[in-house]
Amino acid sequence: MLRNRKILTPLLFVSLYFGFSHISNASSSSTYPVRDMLYEQTQLKKYSRFKNCIFWQAKAFNVNELVLMSVLLAEYGDENSKNRNNDKTYDYGLMQINDARTEELLELGYKLDEVRTNGCKNIEAATHILSREIERAGDVWLGVGRYHYNENGKNPKHHYKYRARVNSKLQTLLKVAKKSLNTMHLSGGQ
C-alpha cells in the first residue's frame, strides 16, 4: 500500500498541473509545457503527432493521461502494425490491441482493420477498453494489468509483469515531469 502512495502522490501532483494549466488549446506548445517536455524528452517522441488524440481520449474516457501514456509506452506499437504472439493471436496498432478482443471492439463500434491502420482510432479503442477494465476492476493497476492479461488466467505472471512494465514507464515519465516542473519553477514558470 505504501508503494502505491509513493506512485500516486507525484502522479496526482503532475496530473493536477496538467489539468489546471491554462486549458485553452491542447495543441498549443506553450499551453502544456510539462506535456510537451514529455513528448520531447522521452520515448513519447515517437507518438508526438498523436498527443492531442491521447489528451482528448484520456479526458473522454476518464483515464489518467499519464497512465494512458505509460500503457502506450509499454506496448510501443506502430501504426498499421500486426504482430503475432506466441499464443497465435495478433496485436494491432499503436497500443497493440489483441485480436482476442475483436468481439468487444465490434460491440464498442470499432472495426479491427481501422484500429490497426488509424492511430487515433487505435488510441480511442484502447482507451475505451482500458477504461472499462479499470472500472470493472475498481482499481487502476488491476485494470491496467487486465488490459494485457487477466490475473486469473493460466499465466498470471503475465498480468503482474505487465503492470510492473507500465509502472516503470510511469516512473520515467514522472521523473521527466518533475525535472520539467523544477526547471520551470527556477526559471519563473517560463
Domains and CATH numbers, the chain: 40-186 (1.10.530.10)
What's the rounded mean pLDDT across residues 67-92?
96
Band (pLDDT 50/70/90 cuts) for residue 25 is very low
For 109-119, write each residue's pLDDT tens digit.
999 999 999 99
For the chain, what percent of residues have pLDDT higher than 90?
74
Q: In the predicted model, is pLDDT for residue 34 greater than 60? A: yes
Instruction: Supply φ then ψ for residue 26, to 5 degrees.
Output: -65, -15
Which amino acid does the sequence have at 46? Answer: K
pLDDT at 32: 79
Band (pLDDT 50/70/90 cuts) for residue 185 is low
Q: In the predicted model, is pLDDT for residue 165 greater than 50? A: yes
For 124-154, write each residue's pLDDT tens digit.
999 999 999 999 999 999 999 999 998 998 9
Do 75 and 129 form a contact (C-beta atoms < 8 A)? no
Q: In the predicted model, is pLDDT for residue 184 greater than 90? A: no
C-alpha cell, 73: 509506452
pLDDT at 28: 39
pLDDT at 172: 97
- Pairing mode of beta strands 82-84, 97-98: unpaired
What's the rounded mean pLDDT across residues 47-65?
97
**pTM score, two decimals?**
0.84
